Structure 1
């Protein structure tokens, strides 16, 4: 015995071409936004390679300068540390280096988030 099919509530099972066109249009917009966002992120990486951050340790006796592409550019050691042992000096350099890298990461993350929000905000119904 075959079961009877219940009413579809006025909905048709046939595919609507308008719905497919809307989906294709949304997909194209998302792909375009992704490509533009990637270009902007690539430009940001290039720009950040020239942005410097500084960090100090030991009350300023060790200063590390790093770029936002995570490269140490300079280490300045005050003459005040000439009497310190090598282990203390190493600790100060490590502390200042880690702080500089944290600052560079934070700046890069902030700029990347700005770009992401700019493009994700243009997509219809993103996050709904």
Structure 2
């Protein structure tokens, strides 16, 4: 005798699209997160133009001030150097400028990383 097959009780074998809806919601959230992160990064880039970094060389007789967007804003040379050779002064200016630019670059990298981690740090892409 053949076994009777029970009915499905009104249940459908079709997928309700739950996974598809979950993926769409995830995509929308990711897009919103990306937009927020881009806005914050753009605001940060604008703030960099007014943020200042300074460095000195020659024991403080040369001071260079740069902005966060890597532009030299000012160079101060002490009167103590008026009798110094031009090449020595030039070397001190270069040293102070490079140090100030490095400070600005490092700050930008660290702050950009913080912003990225704020938005992307908690995401798990199943990797």
TM-score w.r.t. length of structure 1: 0.82
How much does 1:85 deviate? 1.3
> 1:106 corresponds to which residue?
106
> 1:5 corresponds to which residue?
none
In 1, the alpha carbon distance for the partners of 2:77 and 2:15 equals: 72
Larger relative contact order, structure 1 or 2 (CA cutoff 8 Å, min sep 6): 1
Q: How many residues align?
A: 114
Structure 1 segments of 4 or more deviating over 3 A?
Answer: none
Unaligned runs of 5+ in 1: 1-13
Cα deviations by residue, 1:28-77 (Å, 9 ceiling, x for unpaired): 11111111100000100111211111100111111001110111110000
In 2, the alpha carbon distance for the partners of 1:99 and 1:127 equals: 41
Unaligned runs of 5+ in 2: 1-13
Alignment RMSD: 1.7
TM-score w.r.t. length of structure 2: 0.82
SS in 1 for 2:82: helix
Distance 1:89 1:16, change over 3 A: farther
Greater C-alpha radius of gyration: 2
